[in-house]
Amino acid sequence: MSFLNLFKIICLSFFVAVIAALGADKDFKIYEAESGQVLYEMSGGGQLTQETNLTISGKARLRFKEWGTVALVEERGDAAAVGAIRDKQAFRSLVKQEKDTTLYANYKTEKVLERKSSSTYSVHGETQTKGLEKTGTMNIAGLVCDVWEGSGIKKCLYRGVPLLLEIQLHGITYTKKASDVNFDINISDDKCMMPDFSVEEFGLIRGVGMTKNKRKPKEVIEVFKDISKGNFVINRMDIDTNDTNQSNDKAKIEFLNRLGQSIYENQKELLPQLLLNLEKSRECMQRAESLKEANECIRELRDIKKEMGIKMPFVLFWNDEEENAYLEQLDDEISNLKSRMSCVSRAKNITELSGCMK
């Protein structure tokens, strides 16, 4: 065979492969709807430790076009620990999938992370049914969707679009349920725009769930996302049972500690800062001679308490009686927190830390 004929065969094979690839891409569908928008309500919570409860609330929106190959998912809400531990995680995320490119908006750093991804499940993880069994149908937002269930998880899909995600593990629940659904609508380009942040590029994601900050503990909402995408291994021991000794079950404790890891690490930083600010505020208020000065004394203390989900009112009056009352209150808080700090420093997880603060 001559070199020219060989070259022609190679070129022909290349063009056939390109045409086939374009045809396959054109026919590729994630959803059985060309475009749409789904609004969701997010809720959940339960007993995180014996002394601390967890509550989750929020809203979400899915917008997509081109049969889901272009999709935008927005989520916003709070995950709060209440009880012996007081902590509040405000979450806000915006993720866009455009074929093989995933964009993540980070509102804290005001940057967009752009990655070439080997998987679309960064956005479409809730459509996964691997390891789940189809068990029936449900009516959600006026639509009859197919129910898929597995260990501790339930999904309901309509034309491939997730209308319900439910997770129930060890007394902790998480629900993301559609409240309004519209299909085959005009989704303009500006409706799928990312914020006007600077863009940073990262390499190919070789496995689902890999991040730059691999060692950083995931926030509560991110753990539930991992479960929905199948990135969180759920063993048979992880499923709720009627065992009366369930609170002592090793798998349960491990799961709850993992779920509360980000709260634990945040508290380990905030509690020493809280003690320092209590002492500074107490010293300052003893010298305060006016209402304005008294409120300035507690400004930083109010900020750190707000970060922990604790409301602290302004000082409304300032006289000898009010001064004595505030100083006595601060003395009690300082004494109480000081007595717990050695335990706090030894605590290795959310369960132990919660026990320190009860």
DSSP SS3 for 274: helix
CB distance 157 to 181 below 8 Å: no
Q: How far apart are CA 268 and CA 74, in angstroms?
A: 30
What pLDDT does 162 receive? 96
Q: How far apart are CA 310 and CA 307, in angstroms?
A: 7
Between strands 153-158 and 87-98, the pairing is unpaired
What pLDDT does 95 receive? 93
Distances (CA, A) of 2 to 8, 135, 221, 241: 10, 61, 62, 73
Distant-in-sequence contacts of 295-298, Cβ < 8 A, 24+ apart: none
What pLDDT does 142 receive? 96
Contacts of 201 (CB under 8 A, 6+ apart): 114, 115
pTM: 0.82
CA 327 to chain centre: 39
CB distance 30 to 124 below 8 Å: yes
What pLDDT does 324 receive? 94
Q: What is the pLDDT tens value at each position of the chain, 358 positions in all?
A: 554 454 444 444 443 343 334 334 446 789 999 999 999 999 999 999 999 999 999 999 999 999 999 999 999 999 999 999 999 999 999 999 988 889 999 898 899 999 887 566 668 888 989 889 999 999 999 999 999 999 899 999 999 999 999 999 999 999 999 999 999 999 888 888 899 999 988 754 443 344 444 467 889 999 999 898 877 765 544 454 444 454 457 888 999 999 999 999 999 999 999 999 999 999 999 999 999 999 999 999 999 999 888 999 999 999 999 999 999 999 999 999 999 999 999 999 999 999 999 9
Task: Dump the DSSP string for 75-138.
Answer: EEEEEEEEESS-EEEEEEEEEEEETTEEEEEETTTTEEEEEEES-SHHHHGGG--TT-EEEEEE
The alpha-carbon radius of gyration of the chain (Å, integer) is: 26
Q: How far apart are CA 124 and CA 64, in angstroms?
A: 11
Contacts of 311 (CB under 8 A, 6+ apart): 305
What pLDDT does 27 receive? 60
| 36-245 under CATH 3.30.70.100, yes or no | no
What pLDDT does 246 receive? 47
Q: Which two tokens stand for residue 168?
A: 């129930």
